[in-house]
């Protein structure tokens, strides 16, 4: 796993140690099975990596990317 901010490569284990974030959380975020993290973990990870929060946790740029377009539109209750 590359480290764009400080040039030091991380493994899942070393990133978890450097950030203080649970190893399972780091692994799930890295492999995409977990799409978000709590604010404290997110800030700890970006601090360890030397990047900004939006580099790792950028919101989807369109509804198609986050599958929200599949949800039914709100209906007017009468």
> What pLDDT digit, counting tens, does each position of 42-55 carry?
999 999 988 888 88
Question: Residue 36: which residues within 8 A CB-CB, separation 6 or more?
Answer: 57
In the numeric block, the tokens 């492999």 are attached to: 31
Four-CA torsion 50, 55, 59, 65, nearest 10 degrees: -140
Residue 12, pLDDT > 90, answer yes
Cα Rg of the chain (Å, integer): 16
Question: Are 46 and 21 within 8 A, CB to CB?
Answer: no
What's the pLDDT score for residue 36? Answer: 87
CA angle, corner 7, sides to 25 and 41, nearest 5?
25
Residue-averaged pLDDT of the chain: 80
**Mean pLDDT to the nearest integer, 30-59:** 89
The verdict on pTM exceeding 0.75 is: no
Q: How confident is the model at residue 35 (pLDDT cuts 50, 70, 90)?
A: confident
**Structure-block tokens of residue 48:** 């360890």
């Amino acid at each position: 796993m590359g480290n764009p901010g400080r040039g030091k490569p991380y493994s899942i284990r070393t990133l978890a140690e450097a950030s203080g974030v649970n190893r399972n959380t780091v692994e799930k975020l890295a492999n995409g099975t977990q799409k978000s993290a709590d604010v404290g973990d997110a800030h700890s990870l970006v601090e360890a990596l030397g990047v900004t929060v939006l580099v790792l946790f950028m919101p989807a740029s369109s509804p198609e990317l986050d599958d929200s377009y599949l949800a039914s539109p709100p209906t007017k209750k009468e």
